[in-house]
Structure 1
Amino acid sequence: MLHFVKNIQTVDGLISNLYKDITIPEMTKKITDIFEMQGYKVIDQQFGNLILEKGNRTTRLLLGAFVKYFKFSVTMTQNTENELTVNVFQQSSGMSGGLIGMNQIKTELTRLNFVFANI
């Protein structure tokens, strides 16, 4: 079942979506399953807060844009009994990969917007 209702806001480094008929633990499980299959390491910091990380930061610093590194944080807030707001924040700028690295981050954020819209 698709829980996505609408995109509330999309600006540089932020995606905010509204979902219906899903709880924070259920959404956490869905995000973890989907992103671990895509090679992300999902770190559950606290209830409703996740860190999504893919790649190696040290290698990215050494080799630049040749190595992909992405880091995003996800926060979830229960609005009403049936609504959930999910915010995805960009945590790495891509500067260590130069202009190519910054473009990689923008492209990945666009892809994440599509992935989160299909939950």
Structure 2
Amino acid sequence: MTLFVKNLQTVDGLISNLYKDVSIEEMTKKVTELMEQQGYQVTNDQFGNLILEKGSRIKRLLLGAFATYFKFSVTMSQSTENELTVNIFQQSSGMSGGLIGMNQIKTELARLNFLFSNI
């Protein structure tokens, strides 16, 4: 069963989605499982806030676009009794990978948008 209702906003570096009939705890668990399957290291910052990291920041600085590094933050807020808003923010610009690195970040954000719309 898909919990996804609709995409509220997609702009440079931000995706905002609306979900129905799910709590923050359940969504945190689902996002953690999904992103760990995708190779991300998930850090639970606080209640409903996650940090997603993939790759090495140091390798990205040294090797540029040849090394993978993505960092995103996920925030969750209960909008009404049975609706949940999930925001995905880009935390790394990809500048250390030049234009190719910046394009990699945009591509990864679009991929995450697809993944999150299938939850």
Task: Identify the TM-score tier after normalising by the shorter chain.
Answer: over 0.9
Identity %: 78
Alignment TM-score, normalising by the size of structure 1: 0.99
CA distance in 2, matches of 1:102, 1:89: 15
Determine the structure 1 residue equivalent to 2:65.
65
Question: Which residue pairs with 1:50 in the alignment?
Answer: 50
Count of aligned pairs:
119
**Runs in 1 of length 4+ with deviation above 2 angstroms?**
none
User: Once superposed, what is the RMSD of the aligned Cα atoms?
Assistant: 0.3
Give 1:70 shift: 0.2
Match of 1:31 in 2: 31
The residue aligned with 1:111 is 111
2:81 alignment partner in structure 1: 81
Normalised to the residue count of structure 2, the TM-score between the two structures is 0.99
**Rounded Cα–Cα distance in structure 1 between residues aligned with 2:104 and 2:87:** 20
Secondary structure of 1:103's counterpart equals helix
* Shift of residue 84, structure 1, vs aligned partner: 0.1
Aligned counterpart, 1:91: 91
